[in-house]
Structure 1
Amino acid sequence: MRAFAKILLFLIVLGVIVGGAAWWWAGRQPAPSVEFRQPQKFVGQNSALEMMVQTPQGQLSRLDVSLEQNGKSYPIFALNQPTDATTRQEAADRLFISRPIGKRAIPELQPGPARIVVHAARPVLRGMRQIAVEATRDVQVRLEPPQASVVSTFHYVNLGGAEFIIYRATPADVESGVRVGDRIYPGFPGTAVGIKSDPAIHVAFFALAYDQDVNTPITVFARDPAGNIAAAVVDHMAFSKAFSKSTIPIDSWVARVVPPIVANTPSLQGESTAPADLPQTFVKVNSDLRRQNAQTIAELAKKTAPEMMWKTSFEPLTNAAVEAKFADFRTYTYMGKEIDRQVHLGFDLAVTQQVPIKAAQTGVVVHAAYLGIYGNCVIIDHGLGVQTLYGHLSSIGVKVGDKV
């Protein structure tokens, strides 16, 4: 009996030691991690919470999210009551959550500081212990909408043309510009063009694109960091334009033009330039590569300088012949049959071979390399979203970053 008692005592002590060690070990397992994606700093009328919760094996026993302000707590999300939230299992151990948290979703919100609080826990030791974490993000509730108004007058807008506008946008930290239908053109401080009398003044170049309806709405907008938006209609008169249409047989030059483009374009490596395959390869170059090049040019435009680098008018290439007009609607044929349709978006000026090309105006080189359908190509940024492109060059004598 005494031996049994000793064994029992030993087992109890051993169990306590093992259990204590297991409890200690379990308590040092990683807790769930919380990554706030939105909002960064501000909450407005229509702000949304976006967050990622990561936990080993994807096990969560608790996930509660609330927004606290002025001593009050407003529930946003609970694991057992998702309410208006959108959840997405991005991986076995990662849960994405999105939920509106702006004034429209939580009417009690007031301007001023607030805090987003997240409590998350996961089970360990077969559910006998919970590993919990609290994550917070301090935000500023901003409900007053920004202001936007048009200053300039007599906006005569030509379809496919470049236009300019002066407008006012406040407060100072708003993002602003011009919206033409679904296209946005960024605005810049008026100081970029020498207007220093009013810090609220902004300017922007914009266009009613060749492929938009003349009745497309045009507005100036201002968006603050909280996502609150203001807009003002641009009173304007739009003028339509009939663009050129042309039919271009490729028979005589496709064998000369396509192989060099394929050879110099990594995305086209492997495309056949055999005579029988040239028409098909041409279509890929003329359509797919054209779209890729257009995207590259659009990305370069986003890197424009916030200043007007030129002081006088732009100068066209001298003694040049106009080879193609802007927005020429082209039908391409091979052996008398239509094989493709595209819109030519350049204004082609051609001179004799080896003639030095002069920049149209002062600027900074943002591209100097081979660019698909444009061949050897230089793109110069003149600021405020205005850039010029020089293509089909026999050689390039500048590099990115050069001032010209």
Structure 2
Amino acid sequence: MKANSNKKKIVLKLILLICLLTLIPIIWWLLVMLEGGKPSIELDLAGRFIGESQEINIKVSDKETGIRKLWIGLYKNGREHILEKKEFPFAGFIKGGAVHEDSINLFIEPKKLGTTDGKAILRMFISDYSWRGWWHGNKTYVEKEVVIDTLPPEVDIITRNQNMNQGGSGLVIYRVLESGTKNGVYVDGNFFPGHKGPFKDENICMSFFALNHKQGEVKELFVQAVDQAGNTARAGFSYHINKKRFKKDVINISDKFLNWKMPEFYLGGSKGSKISIEDKFIKVNRVIRSSNSNKLTGLGEKTENSIYWDGAFLRLPRSAKKAGYADYRSYQYKGRIIDRQYHLGVDLASVAHSPIPSANGGKVIFTEKTGIFGKTIVIDHGFGLLSLYSHLSSFKVKPGDIVSKGDILGHTGVTGLAGGDHLHFGMIVHNTFVNPIEWWDATWIKNNIQSKINNVKLSAE
């Protein structure tokens, strides 16, 4: 009897074990299929505007039971426009949905949908393969209010005639009849941002733009405005470019100069110490020069919408010009030309350590030692107009200082690739070095800059 009782207990335990081994996976599976995590929708639409043709990327995911259905529509004026309707495959009762992540690129063209401009609602629905909700799954519903705008902004050029010099500056004033646009001037693909000008009419903008030292002619010169929906408008204007021939010069490089200057430049790595002094100079003069120039012209992005300057810009007092803007220099070493570069400023020499006055009113935005330029100060005069002072021996100002015309910024020196004590003075319009001579000329400023601003102010009142 005892043996039979033990056998029954063993059988009962086996049955219980088998039940547990069977029930545990079933319970686990039911818990998985009854999961309550909602599927995810990520919409890649930075703003809320939809233009004439708008691409939108939508990412959907459900990590648990997989995606079942996706529906996207655009609702406007009581009408639903279905943009996407998709059902995802089922992989079986064990696995659930076959797709756990997907990405959809939508191309919305309101005119083809037959909808008008104005407010609309972008509606999105997604469900998964969970057994929640009586086998209908977990659901996520998202709405985003959007604005349909298929009309480009209007651009009206106010100052229509431009007389410019190769390597020179220009100013165009125009009206954009839509707020919130990105506008400015394109010169053969180079963009010069526009800014709201000092005018009562808030639709009036102005842009300082430039021709670089090689642009004796251009293929494209126009004002462009792009609204928040991506609609683009362009307007051209009449212009004349005076071609210039710039000086060519030969700079003799001696071993004495190289032994003096090259230790200042660290090229990095073990290779920097192994290359010849000639090759090091070429790299400094070519590669580092380009990098330094890009860094300095990039400062135009920090400009403010304020006109800090007034009248002609100052030159270094009692100084002689030693080199001009866009001089094309051939560098000769031991009888051989080893490099050629443009000099994109004016070199002015006075007595050693001469005090340097600010050329005009502005805000100091940069005081750093910068490669071949040495110790350099950059002043923002507003609306993308900057002045540059290089090869200094000392600074007397710091970033953030507001300076007036004539305030002392520092002193001349020989830092950088300078061969003697002097000031390298440059002018920058947004991202382009321009000829400083124009900005020293009161008549040029009056005829090409100030008269335009004053005339528009009078006509806009």
TM-score (norm 2): 0.71
Q: Is the 1:220–1:231 Cα contact (8 Å) retained in structure 2? A: yes
Aligned mates of 2:365, 2:309 — CA distance in 1? 16
Deviation (angstroms), 1:297: 1.9
Residue matched to 1:36: 43
Amino acid at match of 1:185: F
Aligned mates of 2:333, 2:35 — CA distance in 1? 72
Change (3 A) 1:17 1:370: same
Deviation (angstroms), 1:313: 1.9
Residue matched to 2:184: 177
Aligned mates of 2:180, 2:244 — CA distance in 1? 38
Aligned mates of 2:277, 2:376 — CA distance in 1? 24
Change (3 A) 1:286 1:112: same
Pair 1:113-2:116 in alignment? no
Amino acid at match of 1:379: V
Amino acid at match of 2:245: A
Aligned-residue RMSD, C-alpha: 3.6
Mapping of residues 362-381 of structure 1, within 5 Å:
362-381=361-380
Residue matched to 1:272: 272
Residue matched to 1:89: none
- Secondary structure class of the residue paired with 1:394: strand
Change (3 A) 1:286 1:51: farther
Pair 1:150-2:192 in alignment? no
Residue matched to 2:327: 328
Aligned mates of 1:249, 1:77 — CA distance in 2? 73
Pair 1:165-2:158 in alignment? no
Aligned mates of 2:73, 2:150 — CA distance in 1? 16
Q: Which stretch of the first structure deviates more once superposed, 209-218 or 355-364?
A: 209-218
Residue matched to 2:225: 222
Q: Is the 1:42–1:142 Cα contact (8 Å) retained in structure 2? A: yes
CA deviation string 1:258-279 (max 9, x = no partner): 22133xxxx64656357x6222
Q: Is the 1:68–1:74 Cα contact (8 Å) retained in structure 2? A: yes
Deviation (angstroms), 1:132: 5.8
- Secondary structure class of the residue paired with 1:293: helix
Mapping of residues 12-51 of structure 1, within 5 Å:
18-25=25-32, 28=35, 33-51=40-58
Choose from 228, 245, 248 the match for 1:245. Answer: 248
Q: Which stretch of the first structure deviates more once superposed, 393-402 or 251-260?
A: 251-260
Change (3 A) 1:224 1:120: same
Aligned mates of 2:221, 2:398 — CA distance in 1? 37
Q: Is the 1:62–1:119 Cα contact (8 Å) retained in structure 2? A: no
Amino acid at match of 2:246: F
Amino acid at match of 2:213: Y
Residue matched to 1:259: 263
Deviation (angstroms), 1:170: 1.5
Change (3 A) 1:368 1:5: same
Change (3 A) 1:273 1:346: farther
Change (3 A) 1:56 1:177: same
Deviation (angstroms), 1:161: 0.1
Normalized per residue, which structure has more helix?
2
Q: Is the 2:35–2:130 Cα contact (8 Å) retained in structure 1? A: no
Q: Which stretch of the first structure deviates more once superposed, 172-181 or 325-334?
A: 325-334
Q: Is the 1:48–1:99 Cα contact (8 Å) retained in structure 2? A: yes
Amino acid at match of 1:73: H
Deviation (angstroms), 1:219: 0.8
Amino acid at match of 1:349: L
Deviation (angstroms), 1:151: 0.4
Amino acid at match of 2:82: Y
Deviation (angstroms), 1:51: 4.7
Rg larger in structure: 2
Deviation (angstroms), 1:390: 0.7
CA deviation string 1:204-230 (max 9, x = no partner): 111122233513221112111111111
Identity rate, percent: 28
Q: Is the 2:360–2:381 Cα contact (8 Å) retained in structure 1? A: yes
Residue matched to 2:415: none
Deviation (angstroms), 1:236: 1.1
Amino acid at match of 2:194: G
Q: Which runs of 5+ in 2 are unaligned?
A: 1-7, 89-99, 404-461
- Secondary structure class of the residue paired with 1:395: strand
Q: Is the 1:377–1:392 Cα contact (8 Å) retained in structure 2? A: yes
Pair 1:234-2:241 in alignment? no
CA deviation string 1:19-71 (max 9, x = no partner): 344443565586664443334211111332145556769x9646846341223
Residue matched to 1:100: 107
Pair 1:137-2:144 in alignment? yes
Amino acid at match of 1:340: D
TM-score (norm 1): 0.80
Change (3 A) 1:270 1:38: farther
Residue matched to 2:280: 281
Q: Which runs of 5+ in 1 are unaligned?
A: 81-92
- Secondary structure class of the residue paired with 1:285: helix
Deviation (angstroms), 1:154: 2.9
Residue matched to 1:397: 396
Change (3 A) 1:388 1:189: same
- Secondary structure class of the residue paired with 2:345: coil
Amino acid at match of 1:169: V
- Secondary structure class of the residue paired with 1:206: strand
Q: Is the 2:38–2:138 Cα contact (8 Å) retained in structure 1? A: yes
Aligned mates of 1:161, 1:270 — CA distance in 2? 43
